[in-house]
Structure 1
Amino acid sequence: MARGAVVGGVERINALSDGVFAIALTLLALPLATADIDEDRVAQDLLGLAPQFVVFALSFAVVGRYWRVHHRVFARITRVDGTLVWLSLLFLFWVALLPFPTAVLGEHGDTAAAVVLYATTIILAGLSSTALWWYAAVGRARLRRGAESLTHEDTDPEEIRRGLARGLAVLAGFVPSLPLAFVDPGVAELSWLLVIPLGPLVDRWSRRPGRRGRRYFWP
């Protein structure tokens, strides 16, 4: 057993995480559920909700992806320590917060402030998710002398690299929208589509040998 680690904590974190994800996914639809629709102009009001629905769908996909990644990560983690618990709580904080910037973006998507708020929340969630996986699989052993990683002994280094690469792809897709938001919020929102091609590119980069910085960050 890894020194300072606790067996059995994984199930408790998973239970808490599932609850937070379920509540966050439900709250994403709250602006739509509470929208004011006039019975004399139902069609027009429904069309007016289109931007909010698009933002809801985007956030639902983002939260759903993070839920999938979170479960994939914890399927490889066998024990936890205090640092991993706090990293998990930090990640869940951003997930729980996401309904707020989603509602703001749905109402004020044409403003730089709304775009920056939304993108920043996604970026911080991605950073905390990546930090969690890195600490569990690599960081603990490198930061604490004599400590072992918190993952299964048979965890493939290639799997670790790919997991970290996926997190970096999300960050790379949303970071450019921060300065773009002050130029054109609409273009900034379109830049989020960069996540789609960046995923395979970063994943391919993670497989290449001899990467600079591998000694410190990659297994």
Structure 2
Amino acid sequence: MATRPDPFRPPKRFDRDQVEFGRSLAFIDATFAIAATLLVVTLNPSDADWASWSRFLGDEWPSLLSFALSFLVISVYWWANHRLVAVLDTLSSRFVGCAVAMLAFVALLPFTTEGLGEYQDGGDGTVATVCYAGNVALVSILSTVLVVVSFREHLYRVQPTERELRAQLIDLADTPLVFLLSIPVTVLISPNWGRATWALLFVTGPLTGRWSARYAGRR
């Protein structure tokens, strides 16, 4: 005799045609959008800064640079999440839980961005740089966890092979590694050198992309 399902127990999976699927995606997209919007509060020029271009740029360029960097980071991870969800057939409760954990650190980015812009040229820049690097690394790691969860729980429309999964993980590994590497560089050498380490992504990004494509056997 079939067991009657518990009406008060939520399902563990949400198909694309269920409202819970859309609500989960709406919450994820809204959090990314709000975090990107809140970056503007990290820009707080004084009345004197508006007096001349030289004063404005001299005082505000660190905050503007931090704003641009964080807006790019949030946009890139939103786009990565958008591309991931586009190839999923269903969501699981574990996927949603991991996504919420990732969003906690996405929502923290305006806070660490403000610290990065405020103390970029001072001696206290060590704390701000370490906190920001750790923040971005955690967003990146949890974003990668979503890919692994999707694979292990067979959420994809077309399930990738293990080789394709490993290739994608290779492609995703450079960002958290570079930001984590910048933490000891910041502490042992200087915040300026730590932030300069982030420029390695312009080299590691194309390299890991090529390696992952070769490993997966795709052109």
TM-score scaled by length of structure 1? 0.82
Tell me, yes or no, if the aligned pair for 2:174 and 2:205 is still in contact at 8 Å: yes
* 1:152 alignment partner in structure 2: 157
Aligned mates of 1:39, 1:127 — CA distance in 2:
38
Partner-residue secondary structure (3-state), 2:48 = coil
Tell me by how many angstroms 1:74 deviates. 0.3
Kindly indicate whether the alpha-carbon contact (under 8 Å) linking 2:32 and 2:78 is maintained by their aligned counterparts in 1.
yes
Identity among equivalent positions (%) equals 31
Contact preservation (8 Å) 2:50, 2:56: no
1:69-117 CA distances to partner (integer Å, 9 max, x unpaired)?
0100000111112111100101111111100000000001242111100
Residue 176 of structure 2 is aligned to residue 166 of structure 1: no
Instruction: Identify the residue that residue 13 of structure 2 maps to in structure 1.
Output: 5
Matched to 1:168, the amino acid is A
Instruction: For 1:10 and 1:109, locate their aligned partners in 2 and report how far apart those are by CA, in whole Å.
Output: 41
Secondary structure, in 3 states, of the residue corresponding to 2:157? Answer: coil
Contact 1:119–1:174 (CA under 8 A) maintained in structure 2: yes
Residue 130 of structure 1 aligns with which residue? 144
Q: Provide, for residues 178-207 of structure 1, a one-character-per-residue CA deviation record: whole Å limited to 9, x for no partner.
A: 001111110110110111211122223334
Look up the equivalent residue of 2:14 and give its one-letter code. V
Contact 1:10 1:74 in 2 (8 A): no
Task: Assess if the C-alpha contact under 8 Å between 1:136 and 1:151 holds in 2.
Answer: yes
Q: Secondary structure at the match of 1:80?
A: strand
Which of 41, 56, 62 pairs up with 1:46?
56
- Please state whether the residue corresponding to 1:150 is helix, strand or coil: coil
1:64 correspondence with 2:70: no
Distance change (3 Å), C-alpha of 1:37 and 1:45 = farther
- Structure 2: 5+ residue stretches without partners: 1-10
Q: Which runs of 4+ in 1 moved over 3 A?
A: 39-42, 154-163, 207-210
Corresponding residue number in structure 1 for 2:209: 203
State how far apart, in whole Å, the 2-side matches of 1:56 and 1:159 are: 35
Counterpart for residue 180 of structure 1: 185
Q: Which has the larger radius of gyration?
A: 2
Q: Which amino acid aligns with 1:169?
A: D
Q: Which moved more, 1:43-52 or 1:153-162?
A: 153-162
Match for residue 26 of structure 1? 37
Corresponding residue for 2:101? 90
